Structure 1
């Protein structure tokens, strides 16, 4: 999973981007790179290996205020310096960083080769930046217009940031199927794949939607569609705290997040079990009671650990609510032409709310008329904006690669959903409801006890 970070403003963008790349390391990567403009020339530094290896290549005296960086996890091409991002166009006037996969890059590349283009890397990204260059020269348009026109010819997923020697004060962004967020400061903007890299500087953020293109300078932000329609940006206030994305005295993020599980369970359950009324309070569920009452089947989609949550949820929902449940791996779901009925409910589990395959599965289900219900951890994420209704876990940021607190929070929500359906369909007795909710309410204390008494034994086993 690649990461993008960029800065436009008056501060030293080099330091901000390097620091941001370090905050993106948790996403996994094999190489890193940075690009900035100086004296009408693009300067690119990139290196296979760690961000610290890249940092050693950059002079500490450089102070630039229009900078972008990237961490790469190899898809097209081997992990090496040539394939690392940023990539520069053949005339050396454009540079790009890109997350995602351009599915038709091979045919685009062939067309560019026939027009005299030569390529240094094996990547789809170098093809993309050269297509932008070709279209800009051919149509004699601005960088923004060239990007808009280019993306009408591209099939696949992307989030991109582009710099141009001819427009030294601007950065152009675009997003489809891969997250890209703009942090809004005072006369400065940050761009990133998630908020962690700029949280230190601002909590105001704009989540770009699919098909949107943005142009930013230190004093200006414009957002348009690929079809050139102007959009009014919605600025959200982030609730995440800086302390949540730091280790806080633990050796690793994963260890920290294991010990945060009792708190994340409490935060996820808070206000959702109404004992005196024998009720479950889930806003998303309450807004779709009719659909749940009439549903004949539930389909759960997810990837990785979220798919495993789905397998657990299948047992819980079928056992309590007596409604059939199917669990699908999201990456396979849309390719097998699934049968989806209008009275189906499709529930998606995703920690980030940005899982591309899960998003695609939800779009398909929505097109076929099913109610789509999201369970994710990030307010403002793509899944939270796509679904009809949903429920947020409140696990806080999960930096560790192996899921811990997000997994247990998602399982907790699946139990709440199962209880709510069971109550609605009159499939659960008062006694059983009380027993399960009492156990849920006290489970955080049992988790604390387990962590306290068993941690040394677990370390020995590990």
Structure 2
């Protein structure tokens, strides 16, 4: 997830772009840059680091008189954060800023290089910029349409062509982009989100998929995908700057929960070729997976919980032993890791201190290491033998939601690939599972459209001093994540227990009115779990049951039932996780707490 801004008008374009990028920095902050029309040419300035670094660079260069330009703040997906990989990407004819992922960029890059065209960056965006350049013969719209006809993926683009002074071209597919204009229609803007322009105007147009906008000092023109001109309604934003940064959501955590379908699409789609998982674009060789004698997963907190679900799926599909360790325990217990083993390291930030130490220990023991991280160029990404980047984008809330979800998706893809390589599943089954995984985002989106039952359940537990989560198999692993989410933002004491362990001590804690969140989604373990639910209900618990679609429980078994939508066993964890995230969110909201910044916690733990 990156931030795009563009401006054409009478103001100092550099100042407008910098201010707009600051408002979008929550969308990405590893590098930033601008391209502006200056002295009959286009000047591009970009820098590694936050907006302040870019400003310092601009001050060193000196004044850049300009009234039109584009800017970008980056969350890296292809290529480490650096000055060269920062946007805009400028060629001899065009400068481009991009939010999204070009899935077939390597194919385009090779084709252009075979024609003698040189590349300077590691990014997918440069492939698109040079493709547009190669097709440009004086008609920007034709070049844009020709290039996008070749492109697979998601994008929001802002472009300036050097021979079209003070004109900005914009287009989008799947990723957001708005066009805004000042009250007197003398200034025009493009932006990923409306916060970038609220200092100047609340009036904006929504750019629909495939539509091209042409912004000039005289006005804005909209072109439909078929080439015809469009008239679009001018809307007025009715929210504050803070509300706008949160996309209209009350908290960043809720916004990020609703961003999960898109994050899943961005993470899964680039790793599917011919209907099967393919990690060649991540430079993860099949031999690394196929030759693994044993697999060890190590992580902290939420990432470790994702690893537990991944263990379950890998062992089921590939029949290979998988151990999961909390990173802080792994490094101190002298783990039995040998040459030929594969250690999978999971971290949202890529800087988690204990996880980084576990990675180094694994390498010292001769194991191969595979990192699953969200931040390109992070310490863990640099030191691992191979890395798979999750494309969750920036996560502002301390409580992780979409990072966990995309970690699950990568682990599921790895499990299918392992199953194929180990000969435990055939190609037909692999395609079936990948197809289910590809559709989970859409199912999740539908489920998120109505959260009334979850909100009602939260009302019943909001004043509880203690809450217990129970489940079996993967449901137990999901219970662990549900309990963590709830305790970290609601400050209610929560514990997760394997349902089969209730009689070994935990039942003594169940008294009248104590809430128990019972997950009974695993089909093979359903009857056993129901018996455990009846045990806590008989001792007075208030039971909230999370169930598969169509499963009905009477009020002697559960007080509240929340049903997943129709889904396969393979993708149930994604939907269950979202329900537990929402339950935690609405419980904390009911208590009036600072949900995005819970006490005593930080987003990235970089010390032991």
Please, what TM-score do these two structures have when normalized by structure 1? 0.58
2:69 maps to 67
1:225 maps to 224
Could you tell me how far 1:9 is from its partner in structure 2?
A: 1.4
1:290 maps to none
1:208 maps to 207
Q: Please give the alpha-carbon distance, in whole angstroms, between the structure 2 residues aligned to 1:457 and 1:78.
A: 28
Could you tell me how far 1:76 is from its partner in structure 2?
A: 2.1
1:155 maps to 152
Q: Taking CA–CA contacts closer than 8 Å with sequence separation of 6 or more, which of the two structures ends up with the larger relative contact order?
A: 1
Could you tell me how far 1:95 is from its partner in structure 2?
A: 0.7
Q: Please give the alpha-carbon distance, in whole angstroms, between the structure 2 residues aligned to 1:432 and 1:40.
A: 71
Contact 1:34 1:45 in 2 (8 A): yes
User: Gaps spanning 5+ residues in structure 2: where?
Assistant: 255-390, 417-429, 455-484, 491-543, 561-584, 603-607
Q: Does 1:44 align with 2:41?
A: no
Q: Please give the alpha-carbon distance, in whole angstroms, between the structure 1 residues aligned to 2:96 and 2:232.
A: 23
Summarize the alignment of residues 254-293 of structure 1 with structure 2, pairs less than 5 Å apart.
none
Q: Please give the alpha-carbon distance, in whole angstroms, between the structure 2 residues aligned to 1:457 and 1:6.
A: 36
Q: Please give the alpha-carbon distance, in whole angstroms, between the structure 2 residues aligned to 1:44 and 1:35.
A: 4
Q: Please give the alpha-carbon distance, in whole angstroms, between the structure 2 residues aligned to 1:372 and 1:123.
A: 30
Q: Please give the alpha-carbon distance, in whole angstroms, between the structure 1 residues aligned to 2:117 and 2:554.
A: 67
Structure number with bigger Rg: 2
What secondary structure is seen at the aligned counterpart in 1 of 2:72? strand
1:373 maps to 446
Contact 1:8 1:66 in 2 (8 A): yes
Summarize the alignment of residues 16-55 of structure 1 with structure 2, pairs less than 5 Å apart.
16-55=16-55
Aligned residues: 336
Q: Please give the alpha-carbon distance, in whole angstroms, between the structure 2 residues aligned to 1:14 and 1:153.
A: 33
What secondary structure is seen at the aligned counterpart in 1 of 2:222? strand
Q: Please give the alpha-carbon distance, in whole angstroms, between the structure 2 residues aligned to 1:309 and 1:31.
A: 24
Q: Let me know the Cα RMSD of the aligned residues.
A: 5.0
Could you tell me how far 1:226 is from its partner in structure 2?
A: 3.5
Between 1:197-206 and 1:36-45, the stretch displaced more is 197-206
1:169 maps to 166
2:177 maps to 180
Please, what TM-score do these two structures have when normalized by structure 2? 0.45
Contact 1:149 1:226 in 2 (8 A): no
Distance 1:243 1:362, change over 3 A: closer
2:14 maps to 14
Could you tell me how far 1:231 is from its partner in structure 2?
A: 3.3
Summarize the alignment of residues 398-437 of structure 1 with structure 2, pairs less than 5 Å apart.
none
Q: Please give the alpha-carbon distance, in whole angstroms, between the structure 1 residues aligned to 2:100 and 2:595.
A: 41
Distance 1:455 1:105, change over 3 A: closer
Q: Please give the alpha-carbon distance, in whole angstroms, between the structure 2 residues aligned to 1:223 and 1:108.
A: 28
Contact 1:148 1:227 in 2 (8 A): no
Distance 1:67 1:457, change over 3 A: closer
Could you tell me how far 1:373 is from its partner in structure 2?
A: 2.6
**Runs of 4+ with >4 A deviation:** 243-247, 302-310, 328-333, 335-340, 360-363, 389-393, 425-429, 440-445, 448-451, 454-458
Could you tell me how far 1:374 is from its partner in structure 2?
A: 6.2
What secondary structure is seen at the aligned counterpart in 2 of 1:122? coil
Distance 1:72 1:446, change over 3 A: closer
Could you tell me how far 1:167 is from its partner in structure 2?
A: 0.7
